[in-house]
Chain A
Amino acid sequence: MKIVIANGTHEADFMIKKFKKDKHKLIVINPNKEFGQYISSNNKVPVICADPTKAYTFDDANANQADVLIALSENDIDNYATCVIAKKLFNIKRTVSVVRNPKRVDLFKQLGVDSVISSTYLLGESIKNESIIDEFIQTISIENDKIVITELIVDENYEITGKTLKNANIPKSINISCIFRDPEVIIPDGDTEINAGDKLVIVCKNEQHDEMIEFIQKEKVKTNES
């Protein structure tokens, strides 16, 4: 792949190392002369020392038709300009921009930037996910992540709550191996009923993990009780 890396400091350096290892063709544009020299000598790649928000820089860099452009400036608006130039004037297939301001993630996407990354946004999302996981789900994987063992606590709103295993329509790919029902440990069979508060230990393939969680946590269809 032909990859253009515009602006950036240490993250640019990191990506260049990574992409170089994977044998991609790199075009590095950086307006900062000192940093450009550092990246160049450190990674043995040519660095075009120019402003990547100018169309002629792309001409000089021969960036036409590249597969990906990654805009890493600390200035969101400059990144936007870089991505628009890449897309509209140089037919670069995919544009990726980092943004400082997390509110701009959706906006940049609406304006046509293909991927928009905000570390603050990602951090927020990951904290959100982790707190959910801490509450309900503990997972360990074995055999190089091929098999996952998950602990899930059953909520009274789940569709499976109150059903026996054989009546719960559990997909074949999901195996409920064990149920902790304090203080008991139950090795379930088809007639074992799932109760609210049970801790299920479930074994499944890694690729079915999300599907499995979705199945277990599916909520009861609300009836018109008032």
Chain B
Amino acid sequence: MNKTKSVIIGSGRLGASIATKLSNLGHDVLIIDKEITSFRKLDETFSGYDVIGDATDLTVLENDGLIKEANEVIITTDNDNVNLFIADICYYIYDVPNIYVRFSDIDKGKLVENTTIKTIYPFILSIQDFMKQREKRDEL
């Protein structure tokens, strides 16, 4: 019945934007956040599901077979430890094939080395962007 394919955890600016993008691309999207007000950040064009709940609670993840049927999970809460914990649950307990996790602290990435969990570091992206812009300036 429930054919969710992409699960996004944390409806902050990043989570909500990814949810909207994937939804617009025609994917089945479900987004989880513990605060109902967070879903305001979803765009009007978002046509997926939103679920209020604490994703560190297995009963929330298992509800309606949610996590078992997901083929990708994107974890973007504002707490690195929570992100690590959920990523490990998705990887070790539920065998989710594609897991993306955001970390502010680069050291946390070392904890998911040797797994298929993929990491996103806003810090590194900012540096790269800065260096690129700086290069452009020098070219002028």
Residue ranges of A at the interface with B (Cβ–Cβ < 8 Å): 53-56, 75-78, 80-81, 84-85, 88-89, 101, 103, 107, 110-112
Contacts and interface: CB of A to CB of B under 8 A. Distances in A.
Contacts of A75: 81
B103 to A, nearest CB: 11
Given A89-B107, A111-B92, 7 more contacts: A54-B105, A55-B105, A78-B81, A80-B88, A81-B81, A85-B111, A111-B89
Nearest to B92: A111
Interface string B84-109: 11001100110000000000010110
Contacts of A111: 88-89, 92-93
B111 A84 contact: yes
Nearest to A53: B81
A84 B110 contact: no
A55 B84 CA distance: 13
- What is the interface of chain A mostly: helix, strand, loop, or mixed? helix
A171 to B, nearest CB: 43
A64 to B, nearest CB: 14
Contacts of B89: 107, 111
B52 interface: no
Contact of B107 (A55, A77, A80, A110): A55
Contacts of B105: 54-55
Given A55-B110, A110-B93, A111-B92, A103 B58 contact: yes
B124 interface: no
Nearest to A59: B107
B110 A81 contact: no
Contact of A107 (B58, B81, B84): B58
B55 to A, nearest CB: 11
B24 interface: no
Given A103-B58, A107-B93, A111-B92, A81 B85 contact: yes
A182 B82 CA distance: 61
- What are the nearest 4 A-B pairs in CB distance? A55-B107, A81-B81, A77-B85, A77-B81
Nearest to B106: A55
Interface in B58-97: 58, 79-82, 84-85, 88-89, 92-93
B56 interface: yes
Given A84-B88, A103-B58, A107-B89, A77 B79 contact: yes
B111 A89 contact: yes
Nearest to A89: B110
Contact of A84 (B57, B58, B79, B84): B84
B56 to A, nearest CB: 6
Contacts of A89: 107, 110-111
Q: Which of B80, B92, B107 has the most CB of A within 10 A?
A: B107
A103 B81 CA distance: 18
Contact of B110 (A76, A80, A88): A88
Contacts of A103: 57-58
